[in-house]
Structure 1
Amino acid sequence: MAVLNSVSLPECLLCSSNGPDVRERGRIIRLSAELCDRCWNKVANELALSEGATAAPEPAFDPDDVDWAEPRTCRRCSAPVRCCPTNYDRWVELATFELPAKKVPPPHRWRLMRPRAVNTPIPVASVAIRIGAIDPTPGEPVVPAHAFVCVRREA
């Protein structure tokens, strides 16, 4: 009977384990994979380090809180930043403006996507995707990582 139960559970693409923690991961369905918790955290952390998505997540919004909410700012230069989730559930600090792709080096080019909920045309969130596989045209607007435009960045 145990063999029949394990066959019906999904299998992790990396370690081939199957169990209740193996599920489809990622915020965008086209870019997702079935992974267990251990493999997912390993892959997501490696991606975050290589892409520079090491920002702390936005604090949870409390609808009953009546305190003034300030926009997020850079802790080094005090400029406003846009903190966005990535497809792999990590957060990245982006600039609040777009620049032509020719002015931004490839490791710092990001694009914001608005994935839609299943069976509805309504976008549910903004997700940051780093541009990597296909280079944009030189005049195409991209969102630079804040680390690239920070005035107090290390030279």
Structure 2
Amino acid sequence: MGATRDRERHLCHRCGEVSPTVRDRGRINLMSRLCETCWNVFANEMAEADGATAAPRPEPDPDDVSWFEPPVCPKCGALVRIYPTNYDRWVSLATVELPAKDVPEPFRWRLTRLPDPSRLTTDIVAVRVRGVDPLPSEPVVPAHHMMCAPD
């Protein structure tokens, strides 16, 4: 009985293979139990569909005391906010929130604090608004490429 339960812990839900790289994936409400290969395929498909194709933010040097500026879009020169998604990819978001009625459905994001046992916010992730449509006046964060107006 114990051997069966242990096998299920290392069984990928997508490919069905048993692997030591199988673990619960996703940052919020664990999306699935996948191996590393299947997770990368799944997360890349999600990122492509959502437009979450930004490069990750560089890790700041803890000894560097210089001013930290937000990144600038190379196309339009506007400031952008780059956040990790709940599936470990990165997305460029606008610096303003807008009412949901002003943002087309594919570009709606929300910033969510990750739950932490210490009740301190340790990280914020971007989550695509899906399933239930927000109220028209509810604030959402648009994806930057929706607002990008190249010169």
Within 5 Å, give how 1:114-153 maps onto structure 2. Answer: 114-117=113-116, 119-152=117-150
- Aligned partners of 1:22, 1:77: CA distance in 2, in Å? 41
Within 5 Å, give how 1:5-154 maps onto structure 2. Answer: 7=7, 9-28=9-28, 30-117=29-116, 119-152=117-150
1:74 is displaced (CA, Å) by 0.5
1:106 is displaced (CA, Å) by 0.1
Percent identity (aligned): 52
- Aligned partners of 1:9, 1:136: CA distance in 2, in Å? 36
1:68 is displaced (CA, Å) by 4.1
Deviations 1:82-116 (A, max 9, x none): 00000111000000110000000000000010012
- Quote the RMSD (CA, aligned, Å): 1.9
The one-letter code sitting in structure 2 at the alignment partner of 1:26 is G
Contact 1:99–1:141, Cα closer than 8 Å, also in 2: yes
Unaligned runs of 5+ in 2: none
Contact 1:6–1:18, Cα closer than 8 Å, also in 2: no
TM-score, structure 1 length as denominator?
0.89
Unaligned runs of 5+ in 1: none
- Aligned partners of 1:9, 1:108: CA distance in 2, in Å? 36
Moved more, 5-14 or 80-89: 5-14
- Aligned partners of 2:136, 2:126: CA distance in 1, in Å? 20
Moved more, 72-81 or 9-18: 9-18
Cα 1:72–1:22, aligned 2, differ >3 Å: closer, same or farther? same
Cα 1:132–1:8, aligned 2, differ >3 Å: closer, same or farther? closer
TM-score, structure 2 length as denominator?
0.91
The one-letter code sitting in structure 2 at the alignment partner of 1:106 is E
Contact 1:12–1:18, Cα closer than 8 Å, also in 2: yes
Deviations 1:41-72 (A, max 9, x none): 00000000000000000001111124443221
Cα 1:4–1:133, aligned 2, differ >3 Å: closer, same or farther? closer
Cα 1:81–1:41, aligned 2, differ >3 Å: closer, same or farther? same
Deviations 1:97-148 (A, max 9, x none): 100000000000000100122x332222110001111110101000000011
